[in-house]
Amino acid sequence: MTDFDTIIANGLVVNADEQMICDIAIRDGLIVAMGTNLGTAGRIIDASGKIVVPGGIDSHVHISQPSGDGIVMADDFASGTLSAICGGTTTILPFCLQQKGQSLREVLKLYHAEADGKCHADVSFHLIVTDPTPNVLGQELPALVEEGYTSFKVFMTYEGMRLYDDEILATMDCARETGALMMVHCENEDAIRYLIGKHEEQARLEPKYHATTRPQVVEREATHRAISLAEVVDVPVVIVHVSNGAAMQEIRAGKARGRAVVGETCPQYLMLTADDLDMAEWEGAKFVCSPPPRDAESQIACWEGIETGVFDLFSSDHCPFRYDDPHGKLSPEGQKSFRWIPNGIPGVETRLPILFSEGVEKGRIDLQRFVALSSTNHAKLYGLYPRKGVIAVGSDADIVIWDAAKSGPILQSGLHHGADYTPYEGLHVKGWPILSMLRGSVVMEDGEPTGAAPVGQHLARDRSPLVNVARSLQSSLGEGLQQVVR
């Protein structure tokens, strides 16, 4: 009989607010002791010389999402979560997309049927509201927020899914009433539609025109509007997948005015540019995502946002489609025009190696900021803290061990997602996760899944503390946000 199931020994344990060399004892999926000379265990994992962090949380992921006629996402919940744990992420927050006319209950039932029992990481759904009927806003959302679906996203773009400003206000009002957190995809649909029309008249149809029909200004304008609409109703707002400095400045300005605005950016805005969409043989389709990757100046701006705290979240926006596949990027329609190319790129497995290598190894951020951006801030913002996002007694034993010395290129052949390519093929990375543990079970070791049965659970979440802070502090939200997220 041993004292514990597992002890992780001698690692440098890093949380968002402190770091120390110590042992971690785990029993029944929980962290039960931290220190030295803790006792005996069924397995002792020697983490000497390694970095031990809370399991990554990726709060922006799309899996098994209906994506148009004949188009199929490359990941189901089994492959998507396997890919996540191999990249050091043990909890994902995927979206559950309402179609017009659909009830949210109905759509959640479908997503749960796809996910339940198949996940290798823990999962917690956000909702995407595309049809804010009186029943959805007055009945369904209040009940679902009570049940732990405490965040919802709206689109300002995509005909058939975008909400008009008055609908956004009504949905924000519902978020305010129910205590849910609003996330907004900011791009101006009317401007994009106009630009697409002009491009099509001139037969400019290649993948690179995805970027020129969605220029920075349409994102900047919509970001400004989303923050302003949130101000009208007085709710916190998360601006997702920010791609450039102009949009980032809108978030900075909102924060400076004391608004509770949270910014998220993603690896594609640090590592890719619009030039990647300009590859021969329609290969630019591999990089089509919205907002599109921009330019070198935008990459620098996004890094600055990460370094200075304008961005609190670093997420993948994993939205995978196969490339060489009639159900993916090279669908019959997708080969005719950029506007029909399935929109999104894979990244749940490469998110953290990229942040570690480009951020920590290159000296842009320290280890504690890495933990905040990759895990803790997501847990805090979305109502999972302190169950997730921290290595502490009482928290779930979601733990990832990193080898800062391990280096090598990102290669499609080494990844576990369902896509047939990675946008980061050949990118040299220093620092890789070598072991992932989910609630005490080792699910990845030496870069490969251990073959453990899928033990991932769906997590009901608390309301975001940012919402509570916003409600209680009213006019001094900026300070509240610092307390909650930083």
388 binds ligand DUC (CB under 6 A): no
| CB nearer to Zn ion: pick between 185 and 329 | 185
Map residues 178-197 to x or -, x wherever contact with ligand DUC holds by CB under 6 A. -------x------------
Residue from 67, 265, 343, 350 that binds ligand DUC (CB under 6 A)?
343
255 binds Zn ion (CB under 5 A): no
Residue from 4, 58, 62, 285 that binds ligand DUC (CB under 6 A)?
62
How far apart CA 486 and CA 480 sit, in angstroms, is 10
What 3 state SS string does the chain have?
Answer: CCCEEEEEEEEEEECCCCEEEEEEEEECCEEEEEECCCCCEEEEEECCCCEEEECEEEEEECCCCCCCCCCCCCCCHHHHHHHHHHCCEEEEEEEEECCCCCCHHHHHHHHHHHHCCCCCCEECCEEECCCCCHHHHHHHHHHHHHCCCCEEEEECCCCCCECCHHHHHHHHHHHHHHCCEEEEECCCHHHHHHHHHHHHHCCCCCCHHHHHCCCHHHHHHHHHHHHHHHHHHCCCEEECCCCCHHHHHHHHHHHHCCCCEEEEECCHHHHCCHHHHCCHHHHHHHHCCCCCCCCHHHHHHHHHHHHHCCEEEECCCECCCCCCCCCCCCCCCCCCCHHHCCCCECCCCCHHHHHHHHHHHCCCCCHHHHHHHHHHHHHHHCCCCCCCCCCCCCCECCEEEEEEEEEEECCHHHCCCCCCCCCCCCCEEEEEEEEEEECCEEEEECCEECCCCCCCCECCCCCCHHHHHHHHHCCCHHHHHHHHHC
219 binds ligand DUC (CB under 6 A): no
**Which of the listed partners (Zn ion, ligand DUC, none) does 315 bind, with a CB threshold of 5 to 8 Å by partner kind?**
none
Least distance in angstroms from the C-beta of 317 to Zn ion:
4
In the numeric block, which tokens belong to residue 25?
């004892």
| CB nearer to Zn ion: pick between 23 and 317 | 317
187 binds Zn ion (CB under 5 A): no
**Which of the listed partners (Zn ion, ligand DUC, none) does 343 bind, with a CB threshold of 5 to 8 Å by partner kind?**
ligand DUC
Least distance in angstroms from the C-beta of 180 to Zn ion:
18
**Which of the listed partners (ligand DUC, Zn ion, none) does 358 bind, with a CB threshold of 5 to 8 Å by partner kind?**
none
Least distance in angstroms from the C-beta of 240 to Zn ion:
6
| CB nearer to ligand DUC: pick between 95 and 385 | 95
Least distance in angstroms from the C-beta of 87 to ligand DUC:
18
Footprint of Zn ion on residues 308-347 (CB under 5 A)? Answer: 317
214 binds Zn ion (CB under 5 A): no
| CB nearer to ligand DUC: pick between 185 and 369 | 185
221 binds Zn ion (CB under 5 A): no
CA dihedral 72, 350, 118, 451 (to 10 degrees): 130
**Which of the listed partners (Zn ion, ligand DUC, none) does 337 bind, with a CB threshold of 5 to 8 Å by partner kind?**
none
| CB nearer to ligand DUC: pick between 159 and 446 | 159
| CB nearer to ligand DUC: pick between 254 and 344 | 344
Least distance in angstroms from the C-beta of 124 to ligand DUC:
17
319 binds ligand DUC (CB under 6 A): yes
| CB nearer to Zn ion: pick between 58 and 317 | 317
241 binds ligand DUC (CB under 6 A): yes
154 binds ligand DUC (CB under 6 A): no
Classify strands 441-445 and 428-438 as parallel, antiparallel or unpaired: antiparallel
Count of other CB atoms within 10 angstroms of residue 20: 11
208 binds ligand DUC (CB under 6 A): no
Binding residues for ligand DUC, total number by CB under 6 A: 9
| CB nearer to ligand DUC: pick between 315 and 376 | 315
Least distance in angstroms from the C-beta of 344 to ligand DUC:
4
Residue position matching structure tokens 């890719």: 272
Least distance in angstroms from the C-beta of 116 to ligand DUC:
23
CB-closest chain residue to Zn ion: 185
From the list 10, 6, 17, the residue with the least C-alpha distance to 54 is: 17
How far apart CA 111 and CA 65 sit, in angstroms, is 9
Angle at 315 between CA 310 and CA 316, to 5 degrees: 140
| CB nearer to ligand DUC: pick between 265 and 357 | 265
| CB nearer to ligand DUC: pick between 62 and 388 | 62
344 binds ligand DUC (CB under 6 A): yes
| CB nearer to ligand DUC: pick between 319 and 470 | 319
124 binds ligand DUC (CB under 6 A): no
The answer to whether 475 and 258 are in contact (CB under 8 A) is yes
How far apart CA 215 and CA 291 sit, in angstroms, is 8
185 binds Zn ion (CB under 5 A): yes
337 binds ligand DUC (CB under 6 A): no
Map residues 269-298 to x or -, x wherever contact with ligand DUC holds by CB under 6 A. ---------------------x--------
How far apart CA 445 and CA 86 sit, in angstroms, is 8
What residue ranges bind Zn ion (CB under 5 A)? 185, 317
What residue ranges bind ligand DUC (CB under 6 A)? 62, 185, 240-241, 290, 317, 319, 343-344
